[in-house]
Structure 1
Amino acid sequence: MLRLSLQDLVLRVKICKLGEVEPTLLEAVDPPSPKNIRRAIDSLKEVKALTNTENLTPLGTQLAKLPLDVFLGKLIIHGAFFKCLDAAISIAAILSSKSPFISTMGSNSQKEVARLSFRKGDSDLLTVYNAYCAWKRARSTPGSNEYAFCRKNFLSSQTLLNIEDVKMQLVVSIADAGLLQLDASQKTSLNRSVIIQYPIPDFQDQN
């Protein structure tokens, strides 16, 4: 239990209606500390997964279906609501991975120029996101060499592939949870673990 996300455990306690969170978790063989339990509850209240009286909200029910930190899960759900789901999942995958920018032989000025070409304001996250999107375009452009693109821009192709793999796993989890509607061909692609090349559809209104 000590290795699991306390946020996830709290949500499981609430979904399974096992009673009050802290007493329930303290009955475990290796219980987490009361301080950490309270911190997890407070973080769930912060993202509106729990009410102030520690009742599960509709958002909390949806977050419990995602194998993600609740803050990243909320990002994805908001991305769906505002019809930018693909960008939200991409950013969640980036935040779950290391930076694709690498330190290799070459002048620092060359590396900085390459990085600045992807820069968006003062956001390192958006800089990485822009680099990832540019890599995706390079991969899908006929005649383009993605490895040459990575060398030119001091990017790790393996890290970018890892980000793409994490993104695919997130899409699988979202689809399995019933939060994303896919057609038969898209489901087949996911089941075969093929890197997704199609636009990710927006959430459908479940009400």
Structure 2
Amino acid sequence: MAFFKRRGRAGRVQPGECYHLYPRSVYDAFADYQLPELLRTPLQSLCLQIKSLQLGSISEFLSRALQPPEPLSVQNVIEYLKVIGALDEHENLTVLGRHLSVLPVEPKLGKMLILGTIFNCLDPIMTVVAGLSVRDPFLIRFDKKDLAESAKAQFSARDCSDHLALVRAYNGWKDAERQQSGHEYCWKNFLSAQTLKAIDSLRKQFFSLLKDTGLVDKPSENCNSRSIDEHLMRAVICAGLFPGLCSVVNKEKSITLKTMEDGQVLLYSLFSA
């Protein structure tokens, strides 16, 4: 999840008290003490910050905390950052790692933004990254499930890509907004206007941030000279999501999923009916 705040909010605060009301069941489930911020901060971004501040070995630095993260979790993150090219074999920041350390998004999403900039397909990639940072804009209404799935399938076309479906849905919404028919577009296509607006806001912040960090130093048109190349877009998305990828192997009556390192893998649902 990406965390951003509007710049205009700065300075508009003052001392005071804030009261929250909770149901008894929620209140009773609260822990006695809040987790330390160190354990609430995304570990991948934290490790990059440690290296960018030149604080030495990641594992040694974190082990000195009062409540350090699990050593195995830290080691897994270090290996992941090496695999994606953010750290070298000696655990030093690479050029990519230095750029990722200043982007307030998950490293895989930051890498996707950087690749979108390099390959001049930034606009659709910003939409994908923003969509992965907020909720799914496609609404599945139980009373109209078939219609909702049909509407989403129209955006997926033949490539069966949720990411490209999101790009097409967002672009259609922007066109409708320019014609002052955004509400009707969302209603017809089972889309959440609120989520699309959140994606639009994040996109603007991404572009501003990339300019501020010097990753974008050319006109917007040049950053999008290849934004209609869907093969390139898919390649950039895959490169950003790597190594969290698997291939689908079709069998006669079923399919299997395989990764490059682990071989066959299984998918487990996180929610029960």
TM-score band, normalised by the shorter chain?
0.7 to 0.9
Determine the C-alpha separation between the residues in 2 that align with 1:53 and 1:157. 47
CA drift at 1:127: 1.4
Offset at residue 105 of structure 1 (A): 7.1
Largest Rg, 1 or 2:
2
Equivalent in 191, 213, 216 of residue 180 of structure 1: 216
Which residue of 1 is the match for residue 79 of structure 2? 42
Identify the match of residue 202 of structure 1 among 214, 223, 227.
223
1:150 to 183, 186, 191: 186
Specify which of 158, 163, 168 is matched with residue 125 of structure 1: 163
Q: Spell out, residue by residue over 1:111-140, the C-alpha distance to the aligned partner (whole angstroms, 9 max, x if none).
A: 233112211412122212211111112112
Match of 2:177 in 1: 139
**What is the aligned partner in structure 1 of residue 132 from structure 2?**
95
Q: Where does 1:63-82 land on structure 2 (aligned, <5 Å)?
A: 63-82=100-119
> Secondary structure in 1 aligned to 2:92?
coil
- Which of 198, 220, 225 in structure 2 is aligned with 1:162? 198
Kept after mapping to 2: 8 A contact 1:67/1:173: no
Over 4 Å off, 4+ runs: none
Secondary structure at 2:155 match in 1: coil
Query: Given residue 18 of structure 1, which amino acid in structure 2 is its aligned partner?
Result: L
- Cα offset, 1:43, TM superposition: 1.4
1:103: Cα distance to partner? 3.0
Tell me the distance in 2 between the aligned counterparts of 1:158 and 1:174.
25
For residues 54-65 of structure 1, the aligned pairs below 5 Å read: 54-65=91-102
Letter in 2 for 1:107: K
Q: Taking structure 1 as the reference length, what is the TM-score of the superposition?
A: 0.82
CA distance in 1, matches of 2:53, 2:199: 33
**In structure 2, distance between residues paired with 1:110 and 1:137:** 22
Deviations 1:4-55 (A, max 9, x none): 1222221122222211111111112221111111111111111100012212
Measured on the aligned residues, the alpha-carbon RMSD in Å equals 2.0
Measured after TM superposition, the shift of residue 70 of structure 1 is 0.4
More strand by share: 2
Q: Which region of structure 1 is more displaced relative to structure 2, 105-114 or 82-91?
A: 105-114
**TM-score after normalising by structure 2:** 0.63
Look up the match of 1:31.
68
SS at match of 2:111: helix
- What's the CA shift for 1:202? 2.6
Tell me the distance in 1 between the aligned counterparts of 2:221 and 2:181: 25
Query: Unaligned stretches of 5+ in structure 1?
Result: 184-198
